[in-house]
Structure 1
Amino acid sequence: MRLGFRPPKDPAAFLDYARGLLNRYQFIEVPGSAALELFDAAQEARSMGYALTFHARYMDLYPGSGVPEIRQVSLRVLREDLERAAQMGAFLVNLHAGNLPWTDYPPPGLSPAHEALREQEEKLRREYLERALEGLAELALLASDLGLRLTLENLPAPQEVPRTPEEMAFFLQVPQLEFCLDLGHARMAGQDPMAFVEVLGTRLVHVHAHANDGRYDLHLPPDPEDLRAFAGKPCTVLVELPPRNASEYLEVYGRLASTGLVPEAMGGEG
């Protein structure tokens, strides 16, 4: 597996992390929300030997929206991100499929309408998935034309899609699309990460590695054992921590190296 990290969005801090983690991490994920500001810093990181992945923008984007205008704008923004990632020299772009506008209904026993509302939500969910499938098929073709790998990430909240292995598998219909397993999101959704591995097979090529308490998306350092299934496989593993201090990434690397999951670093800074 190739190990990467998520940097701060400030160009100077981005480069400080890049220098401090050199010869330990192989790639850096550029956030689409700060891609313009980070373009030059990303190029400098490439000159150091880093590869780049790119996380497409996702706030307020709904590529499966039932409102055509919203869906079209969302897909336009994502197309812009694909083009920007290609210009930057990234090799992979990860994206979200968005979320439903409504999952707020009373629990069983509180309202006799519970089951009918659940059925309505399931209908909306199927329709959203189908529209998102159509949009992501277009994006995957564009990514292929641009020389990019495009991955779809599992999401944690009840209103978000895809959330389960079965929903991720729905998108296997798009031949050019690959997949990102977010281990923290799977935990929050109550899903076994290995179920995603089993259903997605070799099309699971990217992993977001972080931990949480099962309730909140805390982005804590991952347990090395959570990554053992990916050791020796041709996938990219992004350690996804908040931008507090590069030393946290060094500590994660040290734990992975001590358990034999990555080689000991040779030389470099840090």
Structure 2
Amino acid sequence: MRLGFRPPKDPEGFLAYARTLQGRYEFIEVPGSAAEVLTEAALEARGMGYALTFHARYLDLYPGSLVPDIREASLHLLEKDLERAARLGALLVNVHAGNIPWTDYPPPDLSPHHDALREAEARMRREYLERAAEGLACLASRALYLGLRFTLENLAAPQEVPRTPEEMALFLEVPHLEFCLDLGHAQMAGQEVVGFAQVLGKRLSHVHAHRNDGRYDLHLPPGPEDLRPFASSPCTVLVELPPRNPGEYVDVHESLAATGILPEAKGGG
């Protein structure tokens, strides 16, 4: 297991976290939404000994959209993120597949059309997933050419895809695509982590580690019990906490080390 962290999105905060956590964490995630302003800081962090991962932009991007222009624009922007990540020397790029535009229908006791509406939603999800898989296949080939690993993340909200192990499995046919298991998203979606692990097997190569209350995406610190299943795997494990205090990342590292999951300090420096 290689342990990394999510830093603040401003250069000063990015580097302050990097200096504080040097010797504990091996890699830092660069957010695509702030990558342009973080380029120099990210390269400086590489000089400190950190590896980099890259989270592609995802707001307002729909790689499985029914509208060709929206789909093509989304894929174009994601390809630009791949190219930026390659210039930074990143290990991998993580991506979201987006969401369908509709999941709002009345419950059975309020509408005789409930079942038909659910069937329409299920059909919309299947079609979106198929188009997204087709688009991500092109991006995965581009990532391979650029020397990048390319991972797809499970999402949490009812309208988002993929949300379940079964939906993630639909992307197994995409060559060169690997997978990111977001533990907090699985918790919110009511899905067991073991279900994703069983379906994805060795193609599960990246983990987002955080917890919540099952209702809101709180990004609370993960505990040793959350990461023990990945202790002996080659996965990159990104601890995802809000930019409050780098001491929270120190606490997570120390809790892992105290339980033997991290037998020795690792990371930049």
Q: TM-score, normalised by structure 1?
A: 0.98
3-state SS in 2 of match to 1:20: helix
Residues 50-92 of structure 1: per-residue CA shift (max 9 Å, x gap): 0000000000000000000100100000000000000011010
For residue 116 of structure 1, what is the aligned residue in structure 2? 116
Q: How far has the Cα of 1:265 moved from its partner? A: 2.7
2:191 & 2:85 partners in 1: Cα distance?
Answer: 31
1:34 & 1:267 partners in 2: Cα distance?
Answer: 23
Which amino acid is the alignment partner of residue 26 of structure 2? Q
3-state SS in 1 of match to 2:117: helix
Q: How far has the Cα of 1:232 moved from its partner? A: 1.3
Q: How far has the Cα of 1:36 moved from its partner? A: 0.6
Count of aligned residue pairs for this structure pair: 269
Q: How far has the Cα of 1:263 moved from its partner? A: 2.5
Q: Is the 8 A contact 2:22 2:268 kept in 1?
A: yes
1:203 & 1:264 partners in 2: Cα distance?
Answer: 26
Which amino acid is the alignment partner of residue 157 of structure 1? A
Question: Are residues 1:3 and 2:28 paired?
Answer: no
Query: Gapped runs of 5+ residues in structure 1?
Result: none
For residue 130 of structure 2, what is the aligned residue in structure 1? 130
Q: How far has the Cα of 1:233 moved from its partner? A: 0.6
Residues 132-182 of structure 1: per-residue CA shift (max 9 Å, x gap): 010000000000000000000000011000000000010000120000000
Which amino acid is the alignment partner of residue 128 of structure 2? Y
1:147 & 1:266 partners in 2: Cα distance?
Answer: 24
For residue 169 of structure 2, what is the aligned residue in structure 1? 169
Q: Which runs of 4+ in 1 moved over 4 A?
A: 266-269
1:32 & 1:267 partners in 2: Cα distance?
Answer: 22
Q: How far has the Cα of 1:224 moved from its partner? A: 1.0
**Distance change >3 Å, CA 268–CA 167, structure 1 → 2:** closer
For residue 87 of structure 2, what is the aligned residue in structure 1? 87
Q: Is the 8 A contact 2:33 2:56 kept in 1?
A: yes
1:198 & 1:152 partners in 2: Cα distance?
Answer: 16
For residue 235 of structure 2, what is the aligned residue in structure 1? 235
For residue 183 of structure 1, what is the aligned residue in structure 2? 183
3-state SS in 2 of match to 1:206: strand
Residues 165-210 of structure 1: per-residue CA shift (max 9 Å, x gap): 0000100001200000000000000000110001100000000000
Q: TM-score, normalised by structure 2?
A: 0.98
1:216 & 1:108 partners in 2: Cα distance?
Answer: 26
Q: How far has the Cα of 1:267 moved from its partner? A: 11
2:251 & 2:268 partners in 1: Cα distance?
Answer: 15
Aligned-pair identity in percent equals 74
For residue 265 of structure 1, what is the aligned residue in structure 2? 265
Which amino acid is the alignment partner of residue 84 of structure 1? R
Q: Is the 8 A contact 2:49 2:267 kept in 1?
A: no
**Distance change >3 Å, CA 68–CA 84, structure 1 → 2:** same
3-state SS in 2 of match to 1:159: coil
Which amino acid is the alignment partner of residue 122 of structure 2? E
Q: How far has the Cα of 1:229 moved from its partner? A: 0.4
For residue 140 of structure 1, what is the aligned residue in structure 2? 140
2:223 & 2:20 partners in 1: Cα distance?
Answer: 22
User: Which has the higher mean CA deviation after the structures are superposed, 258-267 or 77-86?
Assistant: 258-267
2:128 & 2:63 partners in 1: Cα distance?
Answer: 9
RMSD: 1.2
Residue pairs, 1:29-108, within 5 angstroms: 29-108=29-108
Q: How far has the Cα of 1:109 moved from its partner? A: 1.2
**Distance change >3 Å, CA 19–CA 116, structure 1 → 2:** same
Residue pairs, 1:202-217, within 5 angstroms: 202-217=202-217
Question: Are residues 1:250 and 2:250 paired?
Answer: yes
Q: Is the 8 A contact 2:94 2:151 kept in 1?
A: yes
2:71 & 2:268 partners in 1: Cα distance?
Answer: 46
1:77 & 1:36 partners in 2: Cα distance?
Answer: 14
**Distance change >3 Å, CA 254–CA 76, structure 1 → 2:** same
Q: How far has the Cα of 1:268 moved from its partner? A: 8.6
Q: How far has the Cα of 1:108 moved from its partner? A: 1.8
1:21 & 1:179 partners in 2: Cα distance?
Answer: 26
Which amino acid is the alignment partner of residue 31 of structure 2? P
